[in-house]
Structure 1
Amino acid sequence: MPGGRLTRQDRLLIADRLAAGHGYAEIARELDRPTSTISREVTRNGGRTGYRAEHAQLATGSRARRRRDSPAAESGPAIDAYGRDRAAVRQYAEHFAETMVETGLPRMASRVLSCLYTADAASLTAAELVRELAVSPASISKAVNYLESLELVRREPAPAQRHEHYLIAEDIWIQAWRTSARANANWAGTARKGAELFDPATPAGRRLERMSRFFQQLSDDMSGEGPDPEVAQDVAVILAALVHAARPLTSAQLATALDWPADRTTTALSTAKSYELFTDPLTVRTVAPDTYVVTVTRLTEAQRHALTG
């Protein structure tokens, strides 16, 4: 029945479709259920890679028995202190965690971060996280240690209490941004060492050298060392001008044609050359002193001949 409880056969179908790479929306349409129902079912039972139909069936029965036997099941309100639907809040927290999982964050770390982020309390203890997520203390400890290493969560001792409290860093998303910038810089450094080892003149060396420049550029941009938006716009104009001219031009000729100051033209040209991995398939080349032309990459000689012949 649409909207009813998932059956064992429903869960077997979900497991089969997940293994085949189907998305939540596809599975939901096949079962005539809301996509959120499938997302919630998979998230609370191991996620895309860990979902098992029989385990999910047993776990659902166990949760139902705990709710039935709990005193809160008889008198607990469905609305929290702020007038929000508890089920909707929990569903959102699960969806929030699943979104982080899809970006590469480990599942338990995602669930802990989601729980902390959606809690009205300023912080939560390990015991509160264990109770809220229904997992072991060891799982919480491992997830918090991982999040601490990324500087996304910190722990503080509670005054006059033995328990530590976990809370989200005030600048959590800035910290995440910085962590990504550092990771890109590490990729760039590793690829640069490989390029030096293999020699940039070899195919492997060229590949690693391009990879190094790509990740270094990403790291610089994320660290605030890349070009500002106005320079990026100027690069696009320079590329368009050289494409339109279809012939080599000096920086002075470009400055005159675009009615730009010389330093603005020079900055745009040098930026375009340093960002060629991002302007691909258009690349600014120097064909003579202070003379530039746009070339198109990605085409073989045979393809070029076929297009112009």
Structure 2
Amino acid sequence: MPGGRLSHQDRLDIAAGLTAGLGYAEIARQLDRPTSTVSREIARNGGAHGYRADHAHYATASRARRRKPGLPTGDDQPSGPVQGYVERFATMMVDGGLPRMASRVLALLYTTDSRSLTAADLVRELRVSPASVSTAIGYLERVGMVHREPDPRRRLQHYVIAEEVWVKAWQVSARTNLNWAGTAAEGADLLGRDTPAGERLTQMAEFFHHLGEDMSGGPGFEVIDDAFTILAALLHAARPLTTHQLATALNWPPGRITDAFASATKYAEYCDPVVLDQPTADTYQAIPNPARLTRTQLHALHDS
């Protein structure tokens, strides 16, 4: 009956559903139970990969015997709309790549009326072990999404959501994409960029590099502005120039010219449709990006 304690058969059905690859929501629908009830049951008893129906049933009975008389068990806890929302919030973060326990901790911190929670609060509310909370908090601290504030009166650590927490999460994702790009580029160089495997890895590296740069906000304004300036100077000169000639004309130190060349090459997508070209070992010119037009279009323009 919905709202009552889970029976042994309910737990057998949960185990069968996990084995069949069903999601928590589908298992809950088949049992006519709230999704939050099923997700708590699985989280308390080994997780999706370690859940065993018999063990879960006996463990729940054992926990109930250890509790003081009158204290409700986890299955008796109200599973109202707020609790259901917290579970859905955590599931959404899991789908986004955040570890499940870290997601549950973050969801609870976000939806509590208190500004902060202690480790004991998290253990009690989530009904998990202190070790699970410690691992989740450690992860959230490493990525800058949560920080701790000591309570000198009670020698306790209070955990608080970091300011601009979602900016931190975005930055973590951006760094992950750039790491993918770097690893793929390393593989392309190792296998040879002209091999089939090297070509695939090169495409992967370029994709994740652009994605990571876009998520990071791209290059700083000063970096790309210098690249724009040297391209404009080369277009105005309408002939190849050396680093010394550009430095003299722009009244810049040679190192700034060199850095601008490097930026124009590294961030070529931001300079499109103009690209930097090096016709000789010591001269540079700005030319239209040949990749912008198809071969047919280029032939048509030459013939017109």
TM band (smaller chain): 0.5 to 0.7
Partner Cα separation in structure 1 for residue 171 and residue 296 of structure 2:
40
Paired residues for 1:158-197 under 5 Å: 158-197=151-190
Match status 1:286 vs 2:294: yes
Classify the secondary structure of the residue corresponding to 2:16: helix
1:43·1:98 contact (CA, 8 Å) conserved in 2? no
Classify the secondary structure of the residue corresponding to 2:140: helix
Match of 2:215 in 1: 222
Match of 1:143 in 2: 136
Match of 2:58 in 1: 58
Structure 1: which 5+ residue stretches go unaligned? 79-84, 227-266, 272-282, 293-309
Structure possessing the higher radius of gyration over alpha carbons: 2
The two structures, once aligned, show a CA RMSD in angstroms of 3.4
| Structure 1 residue corresponding to 2:203, chosen from 196, 210, 213 | 210
* Cα 1:86–1:2 shift into 2, 3 Å: closer
Deviations 1:191-225 (A, max 9, x none): 11211121110011101101101111111221222
Segment of structure 1 superposing worse, 6-15 or 57-66: 57-66
Match of 1:21 in 2: 21
Deviations 1:252-281 (A, max 9, x none): xxxxxxxxxxxxxxx99948xxxxxxxxxx
Segment of structure 1 superposing worse, 53-62 or 138-147: 53-62
1:126·1:164 contact (CA, 8 Å) conserved in 2? yes
Classify the secondary structure of the residue corresponding to 1:135: coil
Partner Cα separation in structure 2 for residue 206 and residue 187 of structure 1:
15
TM-score by length of 2: 0.64
Shift of 1:165: 1.5
Partner Cα separation in structure 1 for residue 208 and residue 270 of structure 2:
21
Classify the secondary structure of the residue corresponding to 1:167: strand
Partner Cα separation in structure 1 for residue 66 and residue 83 of structure 2:
17
Paired residues for 1:290-301 under 5 Å: 290=298
Task: Give the residue type in structure 2 aligned to 1:42.
Answer: I
Paired residues for 1:55-134 under 5 Å: 55-65=55-65, 69-70=69-70, 87-134=80-127
Classify the secondary structure of the residue corresponding to 2:155: coil
TM-score by length of 1: 0.63
* Cα 1:26–1:211 shift into 2, 3 Å: same
Segment of structure 1 superposing worse, 91-100 or 167-176: 91-100
* Cα 1:290–1:157 shift into 2, 3 Å: farther
Task: Give the residue type in structure 1 aligned to 2:26.
Answer: E
* Cα 1:161–1:291 shift into 2, 3 Å: farther
1:39·1:95 contact (CA, 8 Å) conserved in 2? no
* Cα 1:143–1:92 shift into 2, 3 Å: same
- The percent of aligned pairs where both chains have the same amino acid is 58
1:40·1:95 contact (CA, 8 Å) conserved in 2? no
Match of 1:245 in 2: none
* Cα 1:190–1:146 shift into 2, 3 Å: same
Deviations 1:54-97 (A, max 9, x none): 23223433454466625x65xxxx9xxxxxx7754334333333
Segment of structure 1 superposing worse, 114-123 or 145-154: 114-123
* Cα 1:178–1:209 shift into 2, 3 Å: same
Structure 2: which 5+ residue stretches go unaligned? 220-268, 274-290
Partner Cα separation in structure 1 for residue 299 and residue 41 of structure 2:
62
